[in-house]
Structure 1
């Protein structure tokens, strides 16, 4: 029998943190639970929050700016912790799930103080700063990759590989065949730079495609996401090269575009990798060099080892180099098809279900919680051990 429980999710104010939290929240609510989300002002503006999920905006201090900045951050973290504890006293969460980012820290600190079970989810292949800070105290660490950097050896026992949740429309592509790619057929290239686009892709990709051999160049159909300030410049570049291209600042129909693409060129963010591997689409990726701990370079390593992607360092990302790498993948049709299969082999389409199962395995249903506390009080014991909590899962 399933028993409704309350869960709190806490996520930083970027899409990389918030989108997996939205996905988990929707799945937990589908299973009959109540869910609340803690984030900051930035996170509250990201679209896609599931209907029925409470959102609480709380202060969170980014630790930067020298001693004065650190002091201000400490004050905000402490204020956020107090607000989260007040919420927990009213909402009575069964468990708290952190998705990284500084806004998740006060909620996790409050959970430790209130002795609420905690789980963290790491989207990247390097454990982020906040997740590193709390890794020793949480009950479980959910990861998106089999090899995650900066996880201490003593914490490996509580690591669970689940993957990164992606939208249902992308998972559906997994059951569709790779679009036909024959010697005289159309060659569809999708260029995406993440939620904010990437100017370097706008600068390099059009000239690289223009350098391709005629038998590839004349078959091109390009869809490219650009920053608003780059749009007209990129449109002119493609027109000058006589390459048909559709440009947009935001691709509302991204899953559809991904579905018919033969090759994707983009950054190596966690969400991008998860979508490519779930759908099974080959890629040439340019890791963002300024990403914290260089995590994008590690994100792409699994796809590269499998043969589903190639990576080019931004310092080496030139039209000549990109054109060379495209030719290596696309001159022979079977090469792209094999890369697509390799990319799909890295996908984890059940990520949101596996993460929800993990979250449900910690904490107790309200009725069992009351019975257990009564029994332990009569015997003179303290709170139940995590193993006992897991036995109470319906």
Structure 2
């Protein structure tokens, strides 16, 4: 039976990509889907072309700026009223939040209308919006078997599904790791997420330049850089005679992952999900300013499995990068083994399991795998 569903997500790639994947799966099952987001979210290229989109106000509460709390509250209530108006015409069977400020008024509107709700958490730490609504929603879908800041009292409605990725990325799981011969081209993908990362542009070219000359000559680098960093990074690669293609945005990320032997990047939720879905080894540099240090938590599972090496940004130097590159790259068998270990912690059924959970919200909740509450956070060291 065809139903209507509303997805609500903030306008960053970490929220929008899994929302898009779920939307595509629900439509494939014959349902109608609408998206609530902010101006950034509805403009993401290629993600929501076939889904009706709505922008609603979403007040942003900044703890260090109390003068903005009252205006933010007004915006949130205005967004809640607009969401309720949409629900009265679209009549959704459920509203699913993916985090980010626009999800909050959308979920508040659903609570007011008595509509079933769920949230999906992409990170290994429950985000602020999801944490705020966690006691009121009907189901909480998680991406890791250990999720920090998640109350053990809520375990009965927590379901481990994983983090959905695009079909083109998931398709890589069925393909072998790209052949790497001892004297063949070694392909490196450098990506800092949807916004790039300045530290990667500053460190990676010089770190690769420290590799033995025979190894350095084999490199083929694709590097996503911020607009303000790209010219300097391009000059560094040229100075070191390293073959490199640079861009501020990589629209063909699945293709880039398909040929990459190694990824150097941040540890955002989408990055980790794609690495584990495709089975690609990585050197990860978690964003130190991420809320609740969630990128360090995200990196923990793949690192423990042996599929990645994590370097705190404070220790991410050209010398350290060169050392880790040589440990991984000089032994093709070890690199392929790391790829397999990354793949071993992937959850390829994430989107279908999440869609099953969503479809069950107006019926008895499906018994998907239950995630365990997080243990006390251990210290995270570089591998």
Same fold (TM over 0.5): yes
* Corresponding position: 1:23 with 2:21: yes
Aligned-residue offset at 1:66: 2.8
**Could you say which residue in structure 2 is the equivalent of 1:84?**
83
Cα deviation, 1:38-90, whole Å, max 9, x if unaligned, reads 11222222222434422111100000153321111111111111111111112
Cα distance in 1, alignment partners of residues 113 and 312 from structure 2: 45
Cα distance in 2, alignment partners of residues 390 and 215 from structure 1: 55
**Could you say which residue in structure 2 is the equivalent of 1:297?**
296
Cα deviation, 1:298-351, whole Å, max 9, x if unaligned, reads 001000010000011111110001111111111222110110000000111221
Distance of aligned partners of 1:50 and 1:43 in 2 relative to their CA distance in 1, 3 Å threshold? closer
Equivalences for 1:98-137 in 2 at 5 Å?
Answer: 98-137=97-136
SS in 1 for 2:147: coil
Cα deviation, 1:11-54, whole Å, max 9, x if unaligned, reads 11212112211111111111111111111222222222434422
Residue pair 2:329, 2:335 contacting (<8 A) in 1 also: yes
Residue pair 1:199, 1:226 contacting (<8 A) in 2 also: yes
Equivalences for 1:32-181 in 2 at 5 Å?
Answer: 32-64=30-62, 66-181=65-180
Aligned-residue RMSD, C-alpha: 1.5
Cα distance in 2, alignment partners of residues 51 and 231 from structure 1: 30
Mark the runs of 5 or more structure 1 residues left unpaired by the alignment: 365-386
What TM-score results when the alignment is normalised by the length of structure 1? 0.90
Cα distance in 1, alignment partners of residues 47 and 214 from structure 2: 45
Aligned-residue offset at 1:182: 2.3
Cα deviation, 1:92-138, whole Å, max 9, x if unaligned, reads 11111000011101111111111111100001110000100010111
Mark the runs of 5 or more structure 2 residues left unpaired by the alignment: 368-383
Residue pair 1:120, 1:138 contacting (<8 A) in 2 also: yes
Equivalences for 1:1-394 in 2 at 5 Å?
Answer: 3-64=1-62, 66-363=65-362, 387=364
Cα distance in 1, alignment partners of residues 187 and 50 from structure 2: 39
**Could you say which residue in structure 2 is the equivalent of 1:376?**
none
Cα distance in 1, alignment partners of residues 246 and 346 from structure 2: 28
Cα distance in 2, alignment partners of residues 254 and 67 from structure 1: 40
Compare CA radii of gyration and give the structure with the larger one.
1
Cα distance in 2, alignment partners of residues 146 and 341 from structure 1: 19
Q: Greater helix percent: which structure?
A: 1
Cα distance in 1, alignment partners of residues 361 and 46 from structure 2: 26
Distance of aligned partners of 1:210 and 1:52 in 2 relative to their CA distance in 1, 3 Å threshold? closer
Residue pair 1:59, 1:79 contacting (<8 A) in 2 also: yes
Higher mean displacement: 244-253 or 285-294: 244-253
Residue pair 1:22, 1:48 contacting (<8 A) in 2 also: no
**How many residues are treated as equivalent by the alignment?**
366
Cα distance in 1, alignment partners of residues 47 and 206 from structure 2: 39
Cα distance in 2, alignment partners of residues 218 and 176 from structure 1: 27
SS in 2 for 1:252: coil
Aligned-residue offset at 1:390: 7.1
Cα deviation, 1:328-381, whole Å, max 9, x if unaligned, reads 1112221101100000001112211111111001116xxxxxxxxxxxxxxxxx
